[in-house]
Amino acid sequence: MSFSGGWYPVALSNQLEPATSAGTRLFDREICIWRDSDGGVHAWEDRCPHRGMRLSFGFVRGDRIACLYHGWQYDMQGRCRFIPAHPQLDVPSTIRVATYPCIDRLGMVWMCSDLKMEMPLDLPIDRRDIAPVRSLYVDCAPIATMQALSARSECTVLAGGALISIHAGPQNMIAGFQPFGKGKTALHIVFLGSPEQYPGNARRSAAVWAEELRHDLEREPVPDTAPAGSYEAAPWRS
C-alpha cells in the first residue's frame, strides 16, 4: 500500500461553511480550501502571488477570495481581478494562484494533488445521505495509521487508500484518508445514512472510538517507512 498522487479528502464538508476559508495540508503542501457564497468548493495553493500571505487567512466575498494583507481579489479560477491600491488597473492575466481540482462528495471536500488531472473522482460509494462524525488528526504516518486501523477493526480499503470502510463493534463508518504530511495523517469520519438515523449516543460513541484510536496511535508510534522526500515531491505534478 502506498499513497501517491490523486484525489484525497481534505475536510469534512460541514466544516467549511459558505463564504469561509481554511488552511490545511496535503503531502506537506500548504493548501487553502474555501467555499464560495453559492456553496462551491475550491482548493488552492495557500500563498498570495503578491507577497506570499496565506490566502486561507483571507475573506470570501461572493465568488472571490480577498487576501488579508493588501486586499488583492481572486476569482474562482484563481485569477487576480482587483487590486485596491490600483482600482483602475486592468490586472494582467498572469497574476494567478495555482488551483487544484476540488469537489464535494460523501460529506467530504476532495482535492486532487495533480494540477492537470483530467480523471474525475471515481468513488466506489455514491451516497448523498451522510452523517458526519468528526475529523481526527494524528501524529502518525499515513501508512502506519492505515495498518494500525486495520489491525484493530474490520476494515476494507477503497479508492486506492483514500477511503476506508470501518466496522468497529456496532459502528459502520467510512473514513477519508488525508496524508497530511510526514508523520501526520487526518481521518475524516462519517456514517453512511442520514443524520436522523444516528442519534446523539451513536455519534458520541463513534467520537470516543476515534479519540481512543488517536491515543493508541500516538502512544505507540509506528516508524514512518516512507522514503525520505517522498511526501514533498512524488505526488505533485504541475
Per CB under 6 A, which region of 12-20, 68-76, 153-161, 183-191 contacts ligand FES? 68-76
Residue matched to cell numbers 503542501: 29
Interface with ligand FES (CB under 6 A), residue from 61, 70, 204, 215: 70
Residue 48 in the binding site for ligand FES (CB under 6 A): yes
Find, among 202, 184, 130, 191, the residue nearest to 165 by Cα.
Answer: 191
Pairing of strands 80-82, 99-100: unpaired
Torsion angle, alpha carbons of 189, 194, 195, 196, to 10: -150
C-alpha cell of residue 65: 477570495
First to last CA, the chain: 24
Residue 61 in the binding site for ligand FES (CB under 6 A): no
List the interface residues with ligand FES, window 140-199 (CB under 6 A). Answer: none
Residue 60 in the binding site for ligand FES (CB under 6 A): no
Q: Which CB, 70 or 167, lies closer to ligand FES?
A: 70
CB of residue 55 to ligand FES, shortest distance in Å: 8
Interface with ligand FES (CB under 6 A), residue from 67, 121, 138, 163: 67
Residue 50 in the binding site for ligand FES (CB under 6 A): yes
CB 73 within 8 A of CB 65: yes
List the interface residues with ligand FES, window 72-101 (CB under 6 A). Answer: 72
